[in-house]
Structure 1
């Protein structure tokens, strides 16, 4: 008569190694959790910073100054030729790449920017106006004068600069294939911008005058002489929504 030489509680195979492996995996998980290094934790940190409420600068003389915190708004408009799919006021906003946004708690450069419907000041859409030499803090910006646009994206130890360059076969804006606009950590001539009077027939007359706050202007890129614009014929779904 055959007899069983083991019971159901007997462990088979490399059970000892499997136990040690599970313990090491759990230990590694707990260590990363305590340090905030889990992917879900890193992603939450990034989202919290981008959606952090911010305060804009308040003008006392009616003009925009170097060092002011502002929103760059593309006002609502209709294309007489049709084909428009995005309506309403749009704010220039930081838009991290989808894959990187889900695995990192930081913003990697170059980083994309888009125009988004949310116009409440938060980390992702608040920009700081910079003087090129750093000595004009508090002075009003004038038409025809170069300046920089930077954002902290809600972080305390970060400064990213809005830049652009001529489009190439390898580098251009998504869908529209126009000149790309991005954020970089280098403050160079590619990140210099200039305010131009909105009415082209009066631009020469207003050259050198202070730029009023809350008024329509044209922001031109110094290196390419192209105006900052939002193409409303195309829409993209951001990895991190302003309603996250």
Structure 2
């Protein structure tokens, strides 16, 4: 072939100078990020260290739920009995280091199978009607659910009607996420589980560690976990959380909508799955069901 072997290895051709400068710039950027802890691996370690930090749930002396209590929102599962907890689904994109390490809003939530009490799964029952901290929460009374302060930034569990641009990714039902400010979109209420005696229980104090419904005040959609909608998260296989009421043939809410506000009482401790805190997983689940 004509021209073959004309150039030796040491001959510089093409945009060799530009490529050399580009490689040098990449190395400088890498060393700078390594020095300041901005590499992705450093962010993953920082996120895991803070979001999986253990949290003490509240101990209730009278067996009731109160404003200011730290609880977990646990779904006991349906036919398969797989217990899950509403969890902060933060990734390194939600992480900020200034002025101190924390997550940023908006932030997604999911239903995780690891229900150990930690920063990721702890929520504070917060008053929205001026009720003093320590007073009992009643059925039908509005309140908000806030993440712990510090790394979790005290974000509020929020929802709104689905639209063309705002909906749950998998099911396309009403989205639930975490927002920085508390508004009417962050108001929830506890409804008695048994529909036959629901009216009689309205206004009565809510007992901790029993199955109830958590209903969004604006849309009247009940908090639900969708075990047929699998999410690939940094924490492993988890499920989508939405605000949608699922009814059976008797017009009663299904297991997807049944929640326990779990405390550290003996009754609540018995509900927890005592497993070591799960670390981060890069394994994607298989066999996902995409049906809505």
The answer to whether TM tops 0.5 is yes
| CA RMSD across the alignment | 3.0
1:120 aligns with 2:156: no
Aligned to 1:92: 86
Q: 2 CA distance for matches of 1:34 and 1:140?
A: 50
State the SS of the aligned residue for 1:70: strand
Per the alignment, residue 103 of structure 2 pairs with 107
Which consecutive residues of structure 2, in runs of 5 or more, have no partner in the other structure? 1-9, 237-277, 281-292
Deviation at 1:164, TM superposition (A): 0.3
Report deviation, 1:171.
Answer: 1.6
Asked whether 1:243 is paired with 2:279, we answer: yes
Which residue among 209, 212, 228 is the counterpart of 1:233? Answer: 228
Instruction: Note the C-alpha offset of 1:25.
Output: 6.3
Q: Could you tell me which runs of 5 or more consecutive residues in structure 1 were left unpaired when the two chains were aligned.
A: 1-9, 79-85
Residue number in structure 1 paired with 2:145: 149
Q: Could you state the TM-score of these two structures normalised by the residue count of structure 1?
A: 0.80
- Separation in 2 of the partners of 1:199 and 1:30? 61
Alignment of 1:58-97 (within 5 A): 58-78=59-79, 87-96=81-90
Could you state the TM-score of these two structures normalised by the residue count of structure 2? 0.68
Shift of residue 135 of structure 1?
A: 4.7
C-alpha distance after superposition, 1:195-220 (max 9, x if no partner): 11011111110111110110011000
Kept in 2, the 8 Å contact 1:101–1:239? The answer is no
- Provide the residue aligned with 2:52 in structure 1: 51
1-structure distance, mates of 2:45, 2:118: 16
Q: In the alignment, what sits opposite 2:215?
A: 220
Equivalent residue for 2:255? none
Given that 1:112 and 1:183 are in contact with CA atoms closer than 8 Å, whether structure 2 keeps it comes out as yes
Deviation string 1:107-162 (CA, Å, 9 cap, x unpaired) is 3322111111111101111111100155510111000100000113x744711100
Would the alpha carbon gap of residues 206 and 102 (structure 1) be closer, same or farther in structure 2, given more than 3 Å must change? closer
In 2, distance between residues paired with 1:234 and 1:87?
16
Where 1:148 maps in the other structure, the secondary structure is strand
Q: Which residue of 1 aligns with 2:168?
A: 173
- Aligned pair count reads 225
| Distance in 1 (alpha carbons) for counterparts of 2:130 and 2:32 | 43
CA distance in 1, matches of 2:45, 2:138: 40
Counterpart-to-counterpart distance in 2, 1:29 and 1:101: 21
CA contact (8 A) 2:82 2:113 kept: yes
Distance (whole Å) between structure 2 residues aligned to residue 170 and residue 28 of structure 1: 36
Change (3 A) 1:156 1:107: closer
Distance 2:66 2:47 in 1: 29
Q: How many angstroms apart in 1 are the aligned matches of 2:36 and 2:156?
A: 30
CA distance in 2: counterparts of 1:167 and 1:125, whole angstroms: 25
